[in-house]
Amino acid sequence: MATLKHIASKNSDYTAIEAYLVYQHDAFTGKQLLDEQGRPKLRESYILDTLECDDFSFATACLLANRKYGKNTQHGDIKSHQYIISFDPRDAADNGLTMEKAQTLGLKFCEENFPGHPAIVCTHPDGYNHSGNIHVHIVIGSIRTREVERKPYMQKPRDWREGMKHSSTAQTMRHLRVEVMELCEGAGLYQIDLLNGSKERVSEAEYWARRRGQLKLDRENAALTAAGQQPRQKKFETVKDTLRKQISSVLYRATSFEEFSDKLMQQYGITVKESRGQLSYLPAGRTKFIRAKHLGDNYDSDAVLATLTANAERKHTVTLKSNKIGKLIDIQSRMTEGKGIGYKRWLTKHNLKVMAQTVKLLQEKGLTDEG
């Protein structure tokens, strides 16, 4: 299955982007790896092309665009966007996907969806986890350097006019996910529905926090084991990981938003608030709320309310069933059918429960009063 990830960068050093794609970097620190002579080590394998850069490098083309249109002058401005298409590891063996074919698909995707933007398209043969998934990095300068033909998916002038900045909105991402799905279908590659969203959304920063935290924890546990002590924790969890677990533990027992909110506060000290139809969570000890969209689709307003409604309906059904009087079973007749002693014990317990349920229901209905 191919996946699509987006990363917005405020780094004004455009050469750092190409260096990352071409040279080897430490998976945790992000620093370039050097050879014996102190020179950056090239990646073992990659394919790289540029688009819309004329005779300039990607970095120069972006800097010229910034100067020409007077944009990206502030530290907080988004200077570039990176989209990563990661293909299913099985595609290489089952569907004949090669780096060359992936690069061709990446170039086509870039030309069709980011026309007018200086771009780098670079294919790598593997991920950090050595899963064998060929993936394509598409990095575009944020400014469009020429006006392009307006296409159906383009909704605002910034999507086709010269000198405008690219914006990765929810609508844009939906369009791009559809494009990835159609790209894979046309190429005969494995694919899933990317429009259903992710149950747990993990950002780039959280991904690396997980990896660094797990590495540190593994080292600490190794030291404890060497000292003859038993590690208490084997899997590292980020603040968001813990928050997801705590929300889930409460969500699947609550039947209303008030109950959901109260239990989060009582059990974990978590404050939940709703603003413009969006939920945010404030874990104990923090001062800044974490928006549901940064946790995943299971934690947003629609999913939470749907779960609470389902819980309430299920509880109502159980209550209705509990108001029905069960039937007593004739133990003697059943035993003549050749049932064992274990079955007889179950029948006896069943009849006792039915009688107790009957008495309780009669009491609730006021039918046991004398007179």
DSSP code per residue over 81-128? EEEEEE--TTHHHHH---HHHHHHHHHHHHHHHSTTS-EEEEEES--T
The band of 212, judged by pLDDT with boundaries at 50, 70 and 90, is: confident
Q: Is the pTM of this model over 0.75?
A: no
Q: What angle do CA 170, 80, 186 make, to 5 degrees?
A: 60
Count Cβ atoms within 10 A of the Cβ of residue 198 and give its class: 0-12 exposed, 13-18 middle, 19 or more buried. Answer: exposed
| Average pLDDT for 18-47 | 89
Determine the pLDDT at residue 367: 65
Count of all residues that appear for the chain in the document? 371
**Contact (CB, 8 A) for 294 and 239:** no
Biggest CA-to-CA distance, the chain: 104
**Contact (CB, 8 A) for 312 and 255:** yes
Of 142, 8, 152, 7, give the one whose Cα is nearest residue 85.
7
| Average pLDDT for 102-108 | 97
**Contact (CB, 8 A) for 105 and 18:** no
Average pLDDT in the chain: 87
Of 146, 177, 139, give the one whose Cα is nearest residue 48.
139
Determine the pLDDT at residue 197: 57
**Contact (CB, 8 A) for 154 and 147:** no
The band of 16, judged by pLDDT with boundaries at 50, 70 and 90, is: very high
Q: Which CATH architecture has domain 3-196?
A: 2-Layer Sandwich (3.30)
**Contact (CB, 8 A) for 60 and 118:** no
**Contact (CB, 8 A) for 145 and 50:** no
Give 50's strand partners: 120
Give tens-digit pLDDT for 49-58: 999 999 999 9
Give percent above pLDDT 90 in the chain: 57
**Contact (CB, 8 A) for 65 and 128:** no
Identify which has the larger pLDDT, 10 or 202.
Answer: 10
The three-class DSSP label of residue 344 is: helix
**Contact (CB, 8 A) for 353 and 359:** no
Q: How far is CA 252 from CA 95, 196, 247, 290, 304, in A?
A: 41, 21, 9, 20, 9
Angle of the 257-268 helix axis to the 239-251 helix axis, nearest 10: 130
Indicate whether 368 pLDDT > 70. no
Give percent above pLDDT 70 in the chain: 84
Determine the pLDDT at residue 245: 92
Identify which has the larger pLDDT, 313 or 356.
Answer: 313
Of 114, 126, 190, give the one whose Cα is nearest residue 153.
114
Determine the pLDDT at residue 276: 87
Domain boundaries, the chain: 3-196, 236-321, 331-364
Determine the pLDDT at residue 342: 60
Indicate whether 115 pLDDT > 90. yes
Q: Find the range with the poorest average confidence among 73-82, 94-103, 306-315.
A: 306-315
Indicate whether 161 pLDDT > 90. yes
The three-class DSSP label of residue 340 is: coil
Residue indicated by tokens 């790209």 = 183
Question: Which letter does DSSP use for residue 298 in this model?
Answer: G
The band of 122, judged by pLDDT with boundaries at 50, 70 and 90, is: very high
H or E element that contains 310: helix 301-322
Q: Find the range with the poorest average confidence among 3-17, 27-41, 272-286, 355-369.
A: 355-369
The band of 325, judged by pLDDT with boundaries at 50, 70 and 90, is: low
Determine the pLDDT at residue 58: 97
Handedness of CA 91, 94, 99, 105 (dihedral sign): negative
The band of 297, judged by pLDDT with boundaries at 50, 70 and 90, is: confident
The band of 277, judged by pLDDT with boundaries at 50, 70 and 90, is: confident
Determine the pLDDT at residue 107: 98
Q: Find the range with the poorest average confidence among 32-41, 126-135, 165-174, 299-308.
A: 126-135
Indicate whether 356 pLDDT > 80. no
Determine the pLDDT at residue 369: 62
